[in-house]
Amino acid sequence: MNRHWKGLTTFVEYSEIPMDNNTAERTLRGGAVGRKNYYGSGSVESAEFTAIMFTIIQTLLIWGINPQRWFSSFFDFIGSSWGRNFEHWLPWNMSSEQLAEFSLKKHHDPPH
């Protein structure tokens, strides 16, 4: 305990540091609880696909983009424009108008 005391009491000196990691734990919970369902038959390909999808969805959320709205429009684009460049669909390449169009706050989304 003495060896870790500084780290265990850091939140006392710095109020911006939470006393616990409940927020991080809750963030990870969805993936952990659903893990077996997401892996389908247990195949490596299914696990890789799940990891890719989690990465895409979390990236969209970090950028304040509604994943359902983004995927719906992206799949419409891919369906009608297969083979065309889709670099402008990446959040860091999107215009401010596109970011506003796919914003989590648009269309009176229910609060999380």
Q: What is the pLDDT of residue 103?
A: 93
Q: What is the pLDDT of residue 15?
A: 85
Is 0.75 surpassed by the pTM of this model? no
46-85 b/e (C-beta count within 10 Å ≥ 16 → b): eeeebeeeeeeeeebeebebbbebbbeeeeeeeeeeeeee
pLDDT tens across 81-109, in order? 766 788 889 999 999 999 999 998 865 54
| Contact by Cβ (8 Å): 91, 99 | yes
Helices of type H across the chain: 5-8, 10-13, 22-38, 44-62, 67-80, 96-101
Calpha distance 30→33 (Å, rounded): 5
CB atoms within 10 A of CB 20: 8
Mean pLDDT of 12-27: 80
| Domain total of the chain | 1
Of 3, 28, 14, 103, the C-alpha closest to 60 is 103
Domain interval for residue 61: 2-108
Calpha distance 74→67 (Å, rounded): 10
pLDDT tens across 46-88, in order? 778 878 888 999 999 999 999 999 999 998 888 887 667 888 8
